[in-house]
A and B are shown apart, each in its own frame.
Chain A
Amino acid sequence: MPSELNKLTIAEASTLLRKGEITALQLARDCLDRIQAIEPKLNAFITVCEKEALEQAHAADRRLKSNEAPALCGIPLGIKDIYATRGVRTTCASRILGNFVPPFDATVVERLRAAGAVFVGKTNLDEFAMGSSTENSAFGATLNPHDTERVAGGSSGGSAAAVAANECLGSLGTDTGGSIREPASFCGVVGMKPTYSRVSRYGVIAYASSLDQVGPFAKSVRDAAIILRTLAGKDPRDSTCSARAVPDYERALTGDVKGLRIGVPKEYFVEGMQPEVEKSVRAAIKIYESLGAKAVDVSMPHTGYAIAAYYLVATAEASANLARYDGIRYGLRIDAEDHIDLYNLTRAEGFGAEVKRRIMLGTFALSAGYYDAYYLKSQKVRTLIRRDFERAFEKCDLIVTPVAPTTAFKLGEKMNDPLTMYLSDIFTISVNLAGLPGMSIPCGYDEKNLPIGMQLIGPPFSEETIFRAGDAFERAGSFKPRPTAV
Chain B
Amino acid sequence: MAETRITLEQVRHVARLARLQLSSSEEESLRGDMDEMLAYVDKLNELDTTDVPPTAQVGEAGTPMREDDVTNAPVAEEMLANAPSRERNYFKVPKIIE
Q: Could you tell me if A363 and B17 are in contact, using CB atoms closer than 8 angstroms?
A: yes
Q: Could you tell me if A347 and B20 are in contact, using CB atoms closer than 8 angstroms?
A: yes
Nearest-neighbour CB distance to chain B for A270, whole angstroms, equals 15
What is the predominant secondary structure among interface residues of chain B facing chain A? Answer: loop
Chain B 42-64 against A: per-residue CB contact (8 Å), 1 yes, 0 no? 01111101001111111110011
Residue of A nearest to B49 (CB): A380
Q: Could you tell me if B41 and A210 are in contact, using CB atoms closer than 8 angstroms?
A: no
Q: Could you tell me if A239 and B84 are in contact, using CB atoms closer than 8 angstroms?
A: no
Q: A236: which B residues are within 8 A, CB to CB?
A: 64, 66
Interface flag for A351 (CB, 8 Å): yes
In angstroms, Cα B45 to Cα A240, docked, is 31
Give residues 65-85 of B contacting A (CB, 8 Å): 66, 72, 75, 78-79, 81-85
Interface flag for A476 (CB, 8 Å): no
In angstroms, Cα B59 to Cα A72, docked, is 28
User: Which of B10, B14, B41 has a CB less than 8 Å from the CB of A374?
Assistant: B41
Q: Which of A10-18, A55-63, A157-165, A304-312 faces chain B?
A: A304-312
User: Which of B47, B53, B81 has a CB less than 8 Å from the CB of A305?
Assistant: B47
Chain A 213-244 against B: per-residue CB contact (8 Å), 1 yes, 0 no? 00000000000000000000000100110111
Q: Could you tell me if A382 and B54 are in contact, using CB atoms closer than 8 angstroms?
A: yes
User: Which of A360, A364, A376 has a CB less than 8 Å from the CB of B20?
Assistant: A360
Chain B 83-98 against A: per-residue CB contact (8 Å), 1 yes, 0 no? 1110000010110100
Interface flag for B28 (CB, 8 Å): no
Q: Knowing A210-B56, A360-B20, A360-B30, say if A384 contacts B84 (CB, 8 Å).
A: no
User: Which of B21, B43, B44, B46 has a CB less than 8 Å from the CB of A348?
Assistant: B21
In angstroms, Cα B81 to Cα A376, docked, is 41
What is the predominant secondary structure among interface residues of chain A facing chain B? Answer: helix
Q: Knowing A311-B41, A327-B84, A364-B6, say if A384 contacts B94 (CB, 8 Å).
A: no
Q: Knowing A236-B66, A339-B96, say if A384 contacts B47 (CB, 8 Å).
A: yes
Q: Could you tell me if B40 and A356 are in contact, using CB atoms closer than 8 angstroms?
A: no
User: Which of B1, B13, B52, B82 has a CB less than 8 Å from the CB of A380?
Assistant: B52
Q: A345: which B residues are within 8 A, CB to CB?
A: 21
Chain A 300-328 against B: per-residue CB contact (8 Å), 1 yes, 0 no? 00101101110110000001000100111
Interface flag for A373 (CB, 8 Å): yes
Chain A 358-369 against B: per-residue CB contact (8 Å), 1 yes, 0 no? 011101100100
**B: number of interface residues (CB 8 Å):** 54
Q: A351: which B residues are within 8 A, CB to CB?
A: 20
User: Which of B6, B53, B79 has a CB less than 8 Å from the CB of A383?
Assistant: B53
Chain A 91-121 against B: per-residue CB contact (8 Å), 1 yes, 0 no? 0000000011101100000000000000000
Q: Could you tell me if B85 and A333 are in contact, using CB atoms closer than 8 angstroms?
A: yes
Q: A309: which B residues are within 8 A, CB to CB?
A: 41, 44
User: Which of B63, B75, B83 has a CB less than 8 Å from the CB of A329?
Assistant: B83
Nearest-neighbour CB distance to chain B for A407, whole angstroms, equals 25
User: Which of A304, A341, A361 has a CB less than 8 Å from the CB of B37?
Assistant: A361
Q: A336: which B residues are within 8 A, CB to CB?
A: 94
Q: Could you tell me if A308 and B44 are in contact, using CB atoms closer than 8 angstroms?
A: yes
Q: Could you tell me if A196 and B59 are in contact, using CB atoms closer than 8 angstroms?
A: yes
Chain A 279-304 against B: per-residue CB contact (8 Å), 1 yes, 0 no? 00000000000000000000000101
Q: B64: which A residues are within 8 A, CB to CB?
A: 236, 239, 243
Which residue of B10, B40, B82, B96 has the most chain A CB atoms within 10 A of its CB atom?
B82
Q: Which residues of B contact A (CB under 8 A)?
A: 1, 4, 6, 10-11, 13-15, 17-22, 26, 30, 33-34, 36-38, 40-41, 43-47, 49, 52-60, 63-64, 66, 72, 75, 78-79, 81-85, 91, 93-94, 96
- 15 more contacts with CB within 8 A, not counting A196-B58, A377-B45, A380-B49, are A100-B82, A104-B72, A240-B57, A305-B43, A311-B37, A328-B93, A344-B21, A360-B34, A363-B17, A364-B34, A367-B14, A380-B53, A382-B54, A418-B36, A435-B59
Contacts A/B (CB < 8 Å), 26 sampled: A101-B78, A103-B82, A196-B59, A240-B57, A242-B60, A305-B43, A305-B47, A308-B41, A328-B91, A330-B82, A330-B83, A330-B84, A331-B84, A333-B84, A343-B19, A348-B21, A356-B30, A360-B11, A360-B15, A361-B34, A370-B4, A383-B52, A386-B58, A418-B33, A433-B55, A433-B58
